[in-house]
């Protein structure tokens, strides 16, 4: 009797103890009866709708990256990593990448530069449930320096961008996407320049244009017409002729630069700004061949005239005749090949300007050097954020033509475009 009772009590105690242990296990591991969300590695894929093109020294262009969790498991840490191959011919501040997960504020993706490749990771991660997708707003730019501190050393015709997606603090990439982004720059041209002008005589009239063939908007653009110091330049604005103040550099005081579209102008994507120019040579102007050279300078330094990211168009030669001579009304056909790329498409006119087309010659590009190359292949000048020389120092390569007239070789875009 007692033995049976003890046995029953012992069985009850053992059973009760088993229930308590089971409850304790459940309390310690409530997910034991169901697989946790991150019980296995997620399967993430990525797709980037990269911009087809951006502008060298232009503002960034928006695009999107879409991340999809194609596996059965959730992830708490989806990570986006970017690698941008720009070749070795650019400076460490040539490329920018920004992101926006929420809100309206763009944030920088910190980039490191080595061997022509920029690498960076979006600082913020985000969760992604199984089967879900998320689109991240991105912006890619090639500022070629900073505002009012443009850099013309180096350049490229394209960026090769790789997007990778990973999970966790150190998880391997589970998906990647490859895109090629075209890089284009501003182009400038003169049209309708007469063959001759008379020293001390009537003004000659022609048009100057700057074209943005890219998807980037531009800020801080100076479209500079370079002449010699014996000139006066006016532009037609609001139906009235406005006399421009020439700018010079201490490195070449005989070189006059006129801002024909104004200082720090803006250009919309795929746009062209055209202005009518009136040029007069003074009585003391040297006779013979003289040159006119248009150059677009972006983010020009306030402390160093004409130093910035530079694209120059074809320079035009005009013959200066003696006072009392008769000018020739025939437009000049004497132009030199430019290092600026030929604009693509038919850009629209920028608001507030007179639109029109130009016929300047803009063929060929300079590659394989960070310097400026003359027609005979000699290197003329270098510029850059290091401030070794200004663009105006190309004046040192001016050649005398005729009876002391100044003719000069076009300033070229410093580029290693490949």
Are 356 and 320 in the same domain?
A: yes
In the chain, how many domains are there? 2
Of 102-111, 114-123, 298-307, 363-372, the poorest mean pLDDT is in 363-372
Q: How confident is the model at residue 89 (pLDDT cuts 50, 70, 90)?
A: confident
Residue 134 lies in a domain: yes
Are 207 and 175 in the same domain?
A: no
> If you average pLDDT over residues 371-386, what whole number do you get?
31
- The helix/strand count (H/E) of the chain reads as 1, 30
Bigger pLDDT: 18 or 367?
18
Tell me which of 184, 215, 240 is where a domain ends.
184
Tens of pLDDT along 238-262? Answer: 999 999 999 999 999 999 999 999 9
Q: What secondary structure letter does DSSP report for 287?
A: B
> If you average pLDDT over residues 146-153, what whole number do you get?
87
pLDDT of the residue at 164? 96
Q: What secondary structure letter does DSSP report for 144?
A: S
Query: Which of 16-20, 121-125, 387-391 reaches the highest mean pLDDT?
Result: 121-125
Asked whether the whole model's pTM tops 0.75, one would answer no
> If you average pLDDT over residues 214-228, what whole number do you get?
97
Are 259 and 323 in the same domain?
A: yes
pLDDT of the residue at 327? 66
Are 264 and 393 in the same domain?
A: yes
Are 333 and 210 in the same domain?
A: yes
Q: Any bridge partners for residue 108, and if so which?
A: 98
Cβ–Cβ < 8 Å for 257, 246:
yes
Are 154 and 237 in the same domain?
A: no
Cα angle for residues 99, 266, 55 (degrees, 5° grid): 50
Q: How confident is the model at residue 413 (pLDDT cuts 50, 70, 90)?
A: very low
CB within 8 A of 21, min separation 6: which ones? Answer: none
Domain around 304:
187-407
> If you average pLDDT over residues 142-165, what whole number do you get?
91
Are 177 and 264 in the same domain?
A: no
Are 175 and 194 in the same domain?
A: no
Are 227 and 137 in the same domain?
A: no
SS3 of 21, please? helix
Tens of pLDDT along 285-305? Answer: 999 999 999 999 999 999 999
Bigger pLDDT: 37 or 297?
297
Distance CA 369, CA 40 (A): 52
- Residue 333: count other Cβ atoms within 10 Å of its Cβ: 11
Tell me which of 184, 202, 226 is where a domain ends.
184
Tens of pLDDT along 173-215? Answer: 889 999 999 999 999 999 999 999 999 999 999 999 999 999 9
Are 205 and 146 in the same domain?
A: no
Are 390 and 297 in the same domain?
A: yes
Q: What percent of the chain has pLDDT over 70?
A: 68
Tell me the pairing of strands 44-49 and 61-69. antiparallel
> If you average pLDDT over residues 86-113, what whole number do you get?
93
Tell me which of 184, 216, 245 is where a domain ends.
184
Q: What is the CATH number of the domain that holds 384?
A: 2.60.40.10
- Residue 214: count other Cβ atoms within 10 Å of its Cβ: 30
Q: Give the side-chain half-sphere CA count within 13 A for 287.
A: 10
Cβ–Cβ < 8 Å for 234, 243:
yes
Tell me the pairing of strands 61-69 and 117-121. unpaired
Residue 31 lies in a domain: no
> If you average pLDDT over residues 67-93, what whole number do you get?
92
pLDDT of 326 > 70? The answer is yes
């Amino acid at each position: 009797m007692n033995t049976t009772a003890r046995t029953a009590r012992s069985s009850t105690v053992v059973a009760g103890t088993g229930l308590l242990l089971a409850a304790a296990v459940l309390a310690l591991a409530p997910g034991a009866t169901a697989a946790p969300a991150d019980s296995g590695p997620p399967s993430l894929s990525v797709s980037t709708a990269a911009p087809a093109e951006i502008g060298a020294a232009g503002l960034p262009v928006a695009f999107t990256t879409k991340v999809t969790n194609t596996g059965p498991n959730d992830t708490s840490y989806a990570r986006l990593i970017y690698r941008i191959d720009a070749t070795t011919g650019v400076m460490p501040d040539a490329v920018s990448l920004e992101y926006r997960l929420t809100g309206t504020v763009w944030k920088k993706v910190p980039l490191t530069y080595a061997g022509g490749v920029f690498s960076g990771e979006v600082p913020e991660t985000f969760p992604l449930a199984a089967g879900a997708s998320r689109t991240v707003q991105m912006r890619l730019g090639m500022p070629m320096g900073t505002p009012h501190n443009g850099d013309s050393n180096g350049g490229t015709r394209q960026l090769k961008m790789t997007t990778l997606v990973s999970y966790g603090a150190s998880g391997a990439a589970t998906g990647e996407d490859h895109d090629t982004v075209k890089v284009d720059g501003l182009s400038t041209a003169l049209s309708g320049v007469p063959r001759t002008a008379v020293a001390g005589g009537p003004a000659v009239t022609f048009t100057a244009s700057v074209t943005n063939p890219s998807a980037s908007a531009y800020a801080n653009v100076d479209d500079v017409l370079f002449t010699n110091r014996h000139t006066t330049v006016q532009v037609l604005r609001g139906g009235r002729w406005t006399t421009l103040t020439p700018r010079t550099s201490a490195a070449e005081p005989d070189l006059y630069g006129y801002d024909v579209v104004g200082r720090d102008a803006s250009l919309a994507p795929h746009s062209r700004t055209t202005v009518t120019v009136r040029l007069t040579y003074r009585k003391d102007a040297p006779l013979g061949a003289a040159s006119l050279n248009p150059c677009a300078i972006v983010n020009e330094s306030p402390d160093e005239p004409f130093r910035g990211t530079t694209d120059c168009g074809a320079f035009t030669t005009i013959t200066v005749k003696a006072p009392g001579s008769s000018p020739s009304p025939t437009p000049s056909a004497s132009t030199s090949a430019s290092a600026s790329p030929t604009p693509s498409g038919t850009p629209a006119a920028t608001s507030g300007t007179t639109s029109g087309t130009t016929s300047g010659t803009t063929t060929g590009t300079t590659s394989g050097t960070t310097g400026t190359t003359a027609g005979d292949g000699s290197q003329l000048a270098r510029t850059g954020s290091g401030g070794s020389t200004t663009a105006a120092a190309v004046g040192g390569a001016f050649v005398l033509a005729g009876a002391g007239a100044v003719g000069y070789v076009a300033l070229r875009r410093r580029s290693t475009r490949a």
